[in-house]
Amino acid sequence: MDLQKNKLGFGQRPALILVDMINGFTDPACPLGAECESVVVHNQQLLAAFRAKGLPVFFTTVVFHNESQARVFRDKINALDVLTPGSHWVKIDSRLTPLENEAVIEKQWASSFFKTDLAQQLIAAQADSIVVTGLTTSGCVRATVVDGLQHNFRVVVAEEAVGDRNQDAHKANLFDMNAKYADVTGCADIISQLHKI
């Protein structure tokens, strides 16, 4: 028996969170990276739409400042060790360069909320909901979506603006998130709804 799932959408002041759209994940030359041109293009479209409405925008990156930070996570995935301060891999992809007033939040774990001040910054920006994009669907995107819900924000996942190295994992996680934690919505629909705010 299927549970009833309500579509909540976003509120009057959604914030856009671009999760780990950094060179380390968007450049296949990095051991963590994969080809994701379409994901970048859809992020560009959403970024332009949010900026045009003057809505809050947040970027995240992953940076490890010492050997002890997130040690278990890095022991599980050794390639994470390339994400060091000042390296090319931790910089936001230049096709999505943040503006001066857009925060870039450093994190060490999967969720954009865990041991960061993202929740406080969202509250300060008077955001009433979040639209989540980025990489990867089964990893940092999903962790951010779950924690967004747990911080009592309505969460929308921009379907074409998230991606994963594994398409089966991508599809399964979109299905799960839509079932339990968020509304998975096409980018065109999100942009259309933004025009109505």
Residue 140 a catalytic site member: yes
Chain position carrying tokens 């980025």: 134
Residue type for position 75: D
Three-class SS of residue 22?
Answer: strand
Residue type for position 57: V
| CB 39, CB 33: distance < 8 Å | no
Residues 6+ positions from 71 with CB-CB distance below 8 Å: none
> What is the rounded distance in angstroms from the CA atom of residue 137 to the CA atom of residue 19?
10
Q: Which residues have a catalytic role annotated?
A: 140
